[in-house]
Amino acid sequence: MNYSKLSRQFVCKLAMLLAFVFAACSETDSGNNVAGGTVEETGVYALAGRGGNVYPKMSDVQFGDIGPMDDSLGFEGFSFAKKGTIVSVSELDPLTLEATGRTFVDTIYDDDGQFSFGELSLNSPYVLIQILDSCTAYDGWRRGLWGPLTYPTSTSVPCDYDALIAEDSSWAAALPSSCGVIDTTTKYPIPFAAIVDLRKQKDVSVNYLTYMKISLVKKYVSEGMDFAAANKKAESEVLGNYGIYEDLGSFESLESVNGRLSYVLLMISRVNRSGSPLKVSLMEAMDLYYGLSPAAVAALGESAERFYLNALKSLEFEMAFYAYVYGYGECTESRENETIDFVKGEGDFAEFGRRVTNASAVCRSNKWVQGWKKVDYESGTMVDDRDGKTYKTVTYNWDGVTQTWMAQNLNYADTMSASADSALRRNLLGNTMCWVGDSSCEIYGRYYKWLAAMNLSMSDLGLTYTYVKDIVYDDENDTEGVIVWDTVAVEDECLTADENDKTQYEYCRTTYGTGRIDCSVFTKQSDRVAYQGVCPDGWRIPNKEDWVLLTENLSKRGAVLRDANGSGFGYAEAMTLSFIDGESPEIRRDNREFWQGRFASVPDEKDENQFQYAYSVFGGFSTGSASYGNVGFADFYKKVSVRCIKD
């Protein structure tokens, strides 16, 4: 979400406040001079590094504020300590890791958070690096970790609304109801600290993660553990408290923090920003990103692809944290294929959960990932001999009953090839289309008008007459009129109608039943060839029984059709991805076309007063108008995807 100026006021709350007490320095002590006097020199070390957190530059759209930061230095994104910030390096006792009283002091020397100590004369190679950065209530969100909404951020005093708004109109929505001014003067500390062994670590990232493990490292060393082992155990415990059970590398390593650890920092920042795990925000993000085709994102360019992959990484750690906090525990080998139901809950959360469709996680390969349970299936390929295109396939064995489906949407529209019969060429012409941004239909396959998918024309339906809607007015003063339905020959009013002329076209209705639509043309159970439609030889359009067998068996095993990996069906939800201000990507779902997720189906002649022309991955069978058995003429032109099933 994009935070308003009011929410940006919410200042950095520290999980723990670190009180820095620097040893007294002489007036000339700075940089490499030892504070507090001279002691016997037993080693000389060099030290350099950066102070601050590193974040992924492109995170998800809900927290894009961290994203658009300069990464000219090769970092994803960052909140480095400001130039001039004090840096102290304190010598530590090698046995206890307690300060010996010898401290070196310098400052951050540029805007990239860098510091450097050329020659440190020490009796011990173990040092505590401390950086006390700061932020103001207004811009602290860029400097470190946010605090909860209860943190005081404004002072209630008389003020001139008009003058403030005139200066910057965006403040209008941010002003507190009691009037007030934003506290932009008070500074709050951000703890960046690290304990390192200078014999092994000379280039150090000093960040919030390195700060978090200090007390644990001291504890384990005091218990007799060597420093390297204590470091590893402390890092494991810190990550474990966020539901992360893998080794992500040293917290002090710039390379590691610039990698997956940056997503851990981002997650901690989000949690501290709200004061609690963001269940609803997590579910919204899951619902937003699930099912998006990686190929579709890649087609939009490198920046969009990077944005999408970063969002998925971020979700991975947030799901792990959610599982830890709410008691779902670690995803282990013994729990493979176990699921987390994010929708379950109480009160408002439960109501929200019922509105999302993709908020589910499953244990796969020792990680909680988005999805549902995986069923047994066999993957393969097939070739459409008509145009040479190759498609993925998936084969299921439902307790002895085998189904083989195409695992990609059909993309056939060859109206010129001699291999296509004349009827198919005629029915396809002008009746197929590609998704916006997928001009060749290679990503999402092709969309067909239902009649074209079935390889039928209106005359094939056996229609003889239809109901046509008309409005009769009593006289010129009658503004409402009366609806009158008339029975006319199909070819007189509907077959010649322009489908884009909704005024005329949608008024046509026909009765679904004997004498009005001859369903036996394409629903006779004994005639498998009649199901073929636009599918290649040996394959056909699925009917209701096919869809029910598939979906009920998936459901019985805890899987869903739209989970491409779990079900093997390969469904990819078409979305669009735009750029905000030409720079920051934003995935959009609100402009999905209405036919998305709908697959062609052969109507079942046994269903009375319905015209079930498609199966929807979100709502089951899609039906045309069924009022009193009347089917809208437009229903025959509804747009669908095609998944052929093997004969």
* 597-609 pLDDT per residue, tens: 899 998 876 666 6
Which pLDDT score, from 0 to 100, does residue 68 have?
35
Q: What is the pTM of this model?
A: 0.74
Which pLDDT score, from 0 to 100, does residue 40 have?
40
Q: Are 269 and 145 in contact (CB under 8 A)?
A: yes
Got the DSSP string for 4-24? PHHHHHSPPPPSS-----PPP
Which pLDDT score, from 0 to 100, does residue 142 have?
47
Q: Are 105 and 84 in contact (CB under 8 A)?
A: no
* 425-475 pLDDT per residue, tens: 888 988 899 887 788 899 889 999 998 999 887 777 767 777 777 788 888
Q: What's the whole-number average pLDDT of the chain?
A: 74
Higher pLDDT, 359 or 527: 359
Please tell me the total number of residues recorded for the chain in this structure. Answer: 647
| Position 20, amino acid | F
Q: Are 37 and 206 in contact (CB under 8 A)?
A: no
CA–CA gap between residue 192 and residue 53 (Å, rounded): 9
Nearest to 52 by CA among 23, 29, 83: 83
Could you tell me which residues come within 8 angstroms of residue 491 by beta carbon, excluding any fewer than 6 positions away? none
Q: Quickly state the pLDDT bin for 411 (edges 50, 70, 90).
A: very high
For residue 23, is pLDDT > 80?
A: no
Could you tell me which residues come within 8 angstroms of residue 4 by beta carbon, excluding any fewer than 6 positions away? 173, 174
Look at 129-143, 254-268, 294-308, 508-522 and tell me which has the smallest mean pLDDT. 508-522
CA–CA gap between residue 20 and residue 199 (Å, rounded): 25
H-state helical runs in 223-370? 227-240, 254-257, 261-274, 279-289, 294-298, 302-325, 347-353
Look at 93-107, 352-366, 570-584 and tell me which has the smallest mean pLDDT. 570-584
* 306-355 pLDDT per residue, tens: 777 777 888 888 888 888 888 889 999 999 999 987 765 544 445 554 55
Got the DSSP string for 312-348? HHHHHHHHHHHHHHTT-----GGGTT-EEETT--SHH
DSSP 3-state assignment of 154?
Answer: strand
What is the average per-residue pLDDT within 402-424?
83
Q: Are 432 and 413 in contact (CB under 8 A)?
A: yes
Q: Quickly state the pLDDT bin for 645 (edges 50, 70, 90).
A: very high
Could you identify the residue written with the tokens 């944290």?
Answer: 321
Q: What Å distances lie between residue 322 and 13, 55, 282, 302, 638, CA to CA? A: 21, 20, 9, 30, 41
* 560-569 pLDDT per residue, tens: 998 888 999 9
Largest CA distance in the chain: 113
Which pLDDT score, from 0 to 100, does residue 58 have?
55
* 7-22 pLDDT per residue, tens: 222 223 223 223 333 3
Which pLDDT score, from 0 to 100, does residue 604 have?
74
Which pLDDT score, from 0 to 100, does residue 11 have?
27
Which pLDDT score, from 0 to 100, does residue 269 have?
73
Nearest to 563 by CA among 396, 358, 406, 407: 358
Which pLDDT score, from 0 to 100, does residue 400 have?
94
> H helices then E strands: how many in the chain?
18, 30
Which pLDDT score, from 0 to 100, does residue 120 have?
93
Count Cβ atoms within 10 A of the Cβ of residue 372 and give its class: 0-12 exposed, 13-18 middle, 19 or more buried: buried
* 519-562 pLDDT per residue, tens: 555 555 445 445 889 999 999 999 888 999 999 999 999 999 98
Which pLDDT score, from 0 to 100, does residue 278 have?
54
Could you identify the residue written with the tokens 């809208």?
Answer: 632
Cα 336 → chain centroid: 23
For residue 213, is pLDDT > 70?
A: yes
Higher pLDDT, 133 or 495: 133
Look at 200-204, 409-413, 576-580, 612-616 and tell me which has the smallest mean pLDDT. 576-580
Which pLDDT score, from 0 to 100, does residue 574 have?
75
Q: Quickly state the pLDDT bin for 133 (edges 50, 70, 90).
A: confident
For residue 585, is pLDDT > 90?
A: no
Which pLDDT score, from 0 to 100, does residue 308 have?
77
Q: Are 180 and 6 in contact (CB under 8 A)?
A: no
For residue 73, is pLDDT > 60?
A: no
Q: Quickly state the pLDDT bin for 219 (edges 50, 70, 90).
A: very high
Q: Quickly state the pLDDT bin for 627 (edges 50, 70, 90).
A: low
Q: Quickly state the pLDDT bin for 164 (edges 50, 70, 90).
A: low
